[in-house]
Structure 1
């Protein structure tokens, strides 16, 4: 059985349901885990840090789909992506779609938008601009092409003195695929995107937070 030295867990759709309600059983389970538990989310730094504090896990967080990482609750954000490239791509999309920005002033590495237009058409329009358009299941994100949760996980692992291959990761969306590629063991909850399931070493029987509890039990982390 794979024995991780740390865990990275997505938030929306993994620790929460579709209405973004946090699963309390998953919170209780994560608090029992004796190895570092790192939240890896598409959301902004202040949200991720607050969630980590409330859940009771490590204050190391991966935010904005890997575009921002932070190692201390009261430390500084480390920005790994170029937001300006993303803004230029948005200007192109605004010529073809009605684009609604989300949390724009708080995001440091990417642009987040309402899921209100055809993502495949949008991807064609911004091809070659050095960015990528990702659907988290809750919003669209235009990211620097050099950014991913997987690269951020490698960055964090190196700082922690371990390999990303010593991480187990739990997620639900296509923005978790790169994290699954570099981790030692990837677990998709039952409600996960079908593409993510193709990369998973395990798919839990139950969705979102209940699936997280099952994942921790499978890894032997709950006593």
Structure 2
């Protein structure tokens, strides 16, 4: 063992450039070279973090769709949301809503367990429909998500940790959004980057002075210093 903890890292807002979009290439080497397991935990559809794992050259340890999909080696778990996701998307459109991603909808095309909607859509309508279909509404700062209430990034981390024969509290987490709160609540130490929302900041052990990837790189430096 290296003495360093395993990591649970959000992607959007956490591994991204100062603009908040696009993975910052400066994180590639520090993440790839981290000597303990690194879990990528995101609200994106699961092909995206799988591809990022490949580009980073790290094992497939992925929490996607806000916990709806969990990938740990050969173990792929997809939460069964029933027909609710297709039904709420149809109802949203019937009541005048627009998912906002155009005809191709590359945001939802490979999404299996939840629905993502652009943040310029009518949030109140989406919240009302989420209640109607017994789903949870989450604002990640990048999109509105409607997902099963029973799934979360934190519960998904439990599954990955068990696969690795680790405890969730062994991990250190870095994130920026309310969808990271459930992860922060499970680990012993967590960092919210400076651009994080208030819920994430309130749940984190440390609120960083730096934003986006600068914050994550500062967190990794702090972890190394504390474990030296």
Q: Same fold (TM over 0.5)?
A: yes
Distance in 2 between the 1:136 and 1:147 partners? Answer: 15
SS in 2 for 1:133: strand
- Number of aligned residue pairs: give it: 219
1:161 is aligned to 165
Distance change >3 Å, CA 23–CA 77, structure 1 → 2:
same
- Higher mean displacement: 159-168 or 97-106: 97-106
Question: How do 1:75-90 residues align onto structure 2 when only pairs under 5 Å count?
Answer: 75=74, 77-82=76-81, 84-90=83-89
Residue 92 (structure 1) shift: 3.2
Residue 95 (structure 1) shift: 3.6
SS in 2 for 1:98: coil
Distance in 1 between the 2:80 and 2:211 partners? Answer: 31
TM-score with structure 2 length normalisation?
A: 0.87
Structure 2: which 5+ runs fail to align? none
1:105 is aligned to 109
Question: How do 1:5-24 residues align onto structure 2 when only pairs under 5 Å count?
Answer: 5-17=5-17, 18-24=19-25
Distance change >3 Å, CA 203–CA 57, structure 1 → 2:
farther
Distance change >3 Å, CA 88–CA 193, structure 1 → 2:
same
Which residue, out of 181, 185, 188, partners 1:181? 185
2:32 is aligned to 31
Q: 1:134 touches 1:140 (CA, 8 Å); kept in 2?
A: yes
Distance in 2 between the 1:81 and 1:171 partners? Answer: 26
Residue 162 (structure 1) shift: 1.1
Q: 2:7 touches 2:171 (CA, 8 Å); kept in 1?
A: yes
SS in 2 for 1:182: coil
Q: 1:83 touches 1:110 (CA, 8 Å); kept in 2?
A: no
Residue 4 (structure 1) shift: 5.8
Once superposed, what is the RMSD of the aligned Cα atoms? 2.1
CA offsets 1:86-145 (integer angstroms, 9 cap, x no match): 222233333434222643331111111222223244313431522111112111111011
Q: Detail structure 1 runs of 4+ shifted over 4 Å in the superposition.
A: none
2:52 is aligned to 51
Q: 2:4 touches 2:224 (CA, 8 Å); kept in 1?
A: no
CA offsets 1:149-181 (integer angstroms, 9 cap, x no match): 011011111111111111111011111111111
Q: 1:83 touches 1:144 (CA, 8 Å); kept in 2?
A: no
Confirm whether residue 195 of structure 1 aligns to residue 199 of structure 2.
yes
Distance change >3 Å, CA 19–CA 170, structure 1 → 2:
closer
TM-score with structure 1 length normalisation?
A: 0.89
Residue 31 (structure 1) shift: 2.4
Structure 1: which 5+ runs fail to align? none
Q: 2:118 touches 2:143 (CA, 8 Å); kept in 1?
A: yes
